[in-house]
Structure formats: C-alpha cells, structure tokens
Amino acid sequence: MLCSKSVIFLLAVDKRKRLKFAPLSGTTSESLLIGKTASNQSTVVFYKNGKVFYRSSAALKIAEQLPFPWPIMSIFFLIPAFIRDYIYNVIGRNRYKWFGKNETCFVRHPNFEDRFLE
C-alpha cells in the first residue's frame, strides 16, 4: 500500500512529468540496471544520467525532481547514508503494519500511461 500510495502521490505532484515508473522486474530495469539490480525487489531505485540510487538516497533524489517545497528534503543528505538507510529499512519492515497491504498492485490509469515503462 505504501508503494502504491507513493506512486499516486508522485503522479499528482510531478506536474512537469519528470518521473517515470518501471517495475524492478521489468525490461526497462533489466536494461538500465545491468549488474546494478537491487538485491531486494521492494527497494526504491532511482536512475538518472547513468547513476543508480537506492533506498533513502533514491527517495531524496526523487524529492529533488519535485516542485518546491520537496527539494528541501535534500538537506537530509547531510545525514550519513547508513543512518538514513537504517530508518528507511525500519519503515520498510513495518510498512504493512503502519500503512496496510493491498491485495493487488497499483493499477495504471490511462491518463498516466505515458509515465510507466515496462
């Protein structure tokens, strides 16, 4: 549910359509992340200009792509990655308890079809 709600939030906030979405098990991820795939398929991954970011770094890089005030979140890059990722992992381990669980994954809406890659 957290993943689906995050995608819905990002689709709504990203008015400039800078973000595209692809499943980690899809062909786009396989071609872009050759040798760099996430060991955990439930980890957020952000790819830009040949660089791959995981977990908290990915979330902060995504925030940088959004309109104000979201780029302010990049201040958290001052916190060492091992601390940020620890917090990210705690949220990840508890996401179903805190946010619930969907029986199905996010279903693409036709209005956003151009934002999804295979």
Distance CA 20, CA 65 (A): 11
Helices (H), 1-118: 2-13, 27-32, 55-64, 81-99
pTM over 0.75: yes
Tally the domains of the chain: 1
15: containing domain? 2-115
Tens of pLDDT, residue by residue over 75-112, are: 999 999 999 999 999 988 887 788 777 666 666 677 78
